Structure 1
Amino acid sequence: MTTLLEARYRTVLRLLPAYYGRAREEEMVETYLGDTDQETQDQSRPTLGEVASVAALAVRSRLATAGAPRPYVRLGSAVRLFALFGVLLQAASAVVGRVLELTWASTGGATRWEMFTASFTGHGPVTGVVTAVTWILPLLWTAGLFALLHDRRRLARLSALAAALPTLWPLLAPLVDTSFPPDPAYAVACALLAWLSALAVCAGYHRDAPPAALPGGAPGLLFLACCVVMGGSVVLLPAAADAVWAPTTGFVVGAVGWLLWRVRRRDEGTACGTVALAVLGLLILAARVAALYPWLDVPVPAAFLGGALGQTAALVLLVAALALVGRRGLLTR
């Protein structure tokens, strides 16, 4: 006779994918019930820790590796590649943005340096601390990237989560500081990009996942190339540069390079990477549109408007091409 506790355990175990549940459900139920007195099973329920453990297992088994059904293997590979690409893009963007900002402040005399330091000291101690934290924490994307590539997964998770924290401030600041202008669409787009990347690192690189590896070249060279492309785009076209100009340029160049590199490769991992890039591109497109929209009714330099519209068009075409190529690659396997 099935007890109430056993029924509750089986309900929790429905979180697991079907292939895993068929193989392990009975064994897991026996293990959970083994330490519980038969007479008290109708008054007991799964503990919070057990439910959390099953939920974590459900994520790991869905983002699976070799040995699981192919759809789960593909999903796991795509999530892990999305995490790598997302962290790489944001790491390079954070480094380039701060290097260019410091270069601008330190090469224009005392006036520029005072303008730079005033953003930390000119609005009170609390705002100054928040500004300093939001300026420094995104640099942890780089720490997270190289920790992940050196298989330091715990450090990579903590670094990615900490690096994503500043994206919450634009959503919270208007609630506590009336002088902070709200821009919800852009703030939400940036937060989605950061937090989905961080959560993909946490979920995709579980204990059974293979070591992280950037396809296409040495990690240091790829990171340097991203920084050069992003920084060069700002230096060459400063009138067109806004907050998303550099990362969008980096993505466009990287996605075109990926499509060209993919011509010589037909493995399933490349198809999963193409799908991951399509998802990343969709998030960047949302940030690009959100950053551009408020300026459509305002007189702005033609270079800025033309650059932003050109990037938007390039992103639309690239996301569509990546989705089509990735889908075709998966269907042919």
Structure 2
Amino acid sequence: MTTLLEARYRTALRLLPAYYRREREEEMVETYLWGVDRDTQDQSRPTAGEVASIVALAVRTRLGAAGAPRRYALLGASARRFALFAVLLQAASAVVDRVLELTWGTTHGPAQWDLFLTRFNGHGPGNSVPVAVLEWTLPLLWTVAYAALLRDRRGLAGTAAALAALPELWVFAAPFVTDAYPPDLAYATANGLLAWLTVLALCAAYHRDAPPAALPAGTPGLVYLAACVVMGASQVALPPLSDSVWAPATAVLLAGLAWLLRRPRTPDTAFALAALGALVLALRVTTLSHWFGVLPAVVRFGSVVQAAVLLLLTAALTVVAGRSVRERAGRA
């Protein structure tokens, strides 16, 4: 007769995918019940640590643990690609923004330098010097996360990414604890989703059973440098269009087009680029909708075109990746 404790364990184990439960459920239940007096099993329940370990195992088995079926292996590979690409995108974006900001401030006279320093002088709504310094410096840790991930230092990569993403949470909290102005909710939400979905994918997909991170082409340093050059050039060459989304969106567009033109095509990379494109598209749309009424006509036109191309590219990547999956399944 099944006891209440056994039923509770089996309920928790339903978090695991079916293929894993078929192979391991009975063994796991026996292990959990080993040494527990049967007379007390109707008054007991799984511990928080046991449930947490089952949740962690569920993440690993659904994101491509060893021996996982093809669809779970693809999901895990796609999540790892997304995490790597999103970390790279935000690392290059943070560096380029700060380099260009410093360059502008130091080359356009004292007035521009003073304007740059105003964010750090403690004046203005919600302007705390330590907070301003952290908001400016923490995003640079995306570069640390990128380097650590490609050196297979997963703990350091996850910690650095989480710290780099903290400013995207602070914008929501600041109006409640300081006199800072509330953010544009749609844009701040899209920006926060990009940052924290990256952290989540990084920590979940690069579990202990996952293979080391690897770029689909190029060496880590050259790819990072190329991303910085592309973003920087897109801002310098078209300064009227250079809001905070223009350069990342340009980089995603070029990466997606390059993938569509290469052979062979891997569906995990396509799904990762499509997910990243969808998040950047959300940033593009929220930025455009917030400022549409005050933007010059050329900027509105450029932003609308970029949004349309991002939408088409994301759809094309998804379609091509889906077709590739079906073709591989047919050959298997």
Alpha-carbon distance in 2 for matches of 1:225, 1:301: 30
Alpha-carbon distance in 2 for matches of 1:220, 1:177: 40
Alpha-carbon distance in 2 for matches of 1:122, 1:307: 36
- The code of the aligned residue for 1:258 comes to W
Alpha-carbon distance in 1 for matches of 2:209, 2:203: 12
The range that moved more, 104-113 or 23-32, is 104-113
- The code of the aligned residue for 1:314 comes to V
SS in structure 1 at match of 2:212: coil
Tell me, yes or no, if structure 1 residue 225 matches structure 2 residue 226: yes
Asked if the contact 1:65/1:77 (under 8 Å) is kept, the reply is no
Alpha-carbon distance in 2 for matches of 1:305, 1:158: 38
1:307 to 299, 302, 307: 302
Alpha-carbon distance in 2 for matches of 1:42, 1:252: 58
Alpha-carbon distance in 1 for matches of 2:14, 2:182: 45
Tell me, yes or no, if structure 1 residue 152 matches structure 2 residue 187: no
The range that moved more, 101-110 or 21-30, is 101-110
Q: How does 1:1-80 map to 2 (within 5 A)?
A: 1-80=1-80
Asked if the contact 1:92/1:142 (under 8 Å) is kept, the reply is yes
Alpha-carbon distance in 2 for matches of 1:181, 1:279: 28
- Show structure 2 runs of 5+ residues with no match: none
- The code of the aligned residue for 1:158 comes to T
Tell me, yes or no, if structure 1 residue 209 matches structure 2 residue 210: yes
Alpha-carbon distance in 1 for matches of 2:138, 2:180: 23
| TM-fit CA distance, 1:66 | 4.8
Asked if the contact 1:278/1:319 (under 8 Å) is kept, the reply is yes
Alpha-carbon distance in 2 for matches of 1:35, 1:157: 37
Alpha-carbon distance in 2 for matches of 1:303, 1:225: 27
Asked if the contact 1:240/1:304 (under 8 Å) is kept, the reply is yes
SS in structure 2 at match of 1:332: helix
Asked if the contact 2:119/2:127 (under 8 Å) is kept, the reply is no
| TM-fit CA distance, 1:60 | 0.4
- The code of the aligned residue for 1:162 comes to L
- The code of the aligned residue for 2:277 comes to G
Alpha-carbon distance in 1 for matches of 2:176, 2:280: 26
Alpha-carbon distance in 2 for matches of 1:181, 1:207: 40
SS in structure 2 at match of 1:214: coil
Alpha-carbon distance in 1 for matches of 2:216, 2:253: 17
- The code of the aligned residue for 1:290 comes to T
Q: Give the equivalent residue in structure 1 for 2:283.
A: 287
Asked if the contact 1:83/1:198 (under 8 Å) is kept, the reply is yes
Aligned residues: 327
| TM-fit CA distance, 1:179 | 4.2
- Show structure 1 runs of 5+ residues with no match: none
Asked if the contact 1:229/1:250 (under 8 Å) is kept, the reply is yes
The range that moved more, 59-68 or 15-24, is 59-68
Q: How does 1:1-333 map to 2 (within 5 A)?
A: 1-123=1-123, 127-261=128-262, 264-266=263-265, 270-298=266-294, 300-333=295-328
Alpha-carbon distance in 2 for matches of 1:237, 1:60: 44
Q: TM-score, normalised by structure 1?
A: 0.95
- The code of the aligned residue for 1:257 comes to A
| TM-fit CA distance, 1:248 | 0.7
Asked if the contact 1:170/1:183 (under 8 Å) is kept, the reply is no
- The code of the aligned residue for 2:218 comes to G
| TM-fit CA distance, 1:35 | 2.9
Q: Deviations over 1:164-218 (max 9, x none)?
A: 1111122222333444143000000000111111100000000000010011111
SS in structure 2 at match of 1:40: helix
Asked if the contact 2:234/2:250 (under 8 Å) is kept, the reply is yes
Residue identity over aligned pairs, in percent, reads 60
Q: 1:100 to 1:30 in 2, by over 3 A?
A: same
Asked if the contact 2:66/2:209 (under 8 Å) is kept, the reply is no
Q: TM-score, normalised by structure 2?
A: 0.95
- The code of the aligned residue for 2:291 comes to W
- The code of the aligned residue for 2:129 comes to G
RMSD: 1.4
Alpha-carbon distance in 2 for matches of 1:132, 1:108: 22
Alpha-carbon distance in 1 for matches of 2:239, 2:27: 62
| TM-fit CA distance, 1:301 | 2.2
Alpha-carbon distance in 1 for matches of 2:160, 2:205: 15
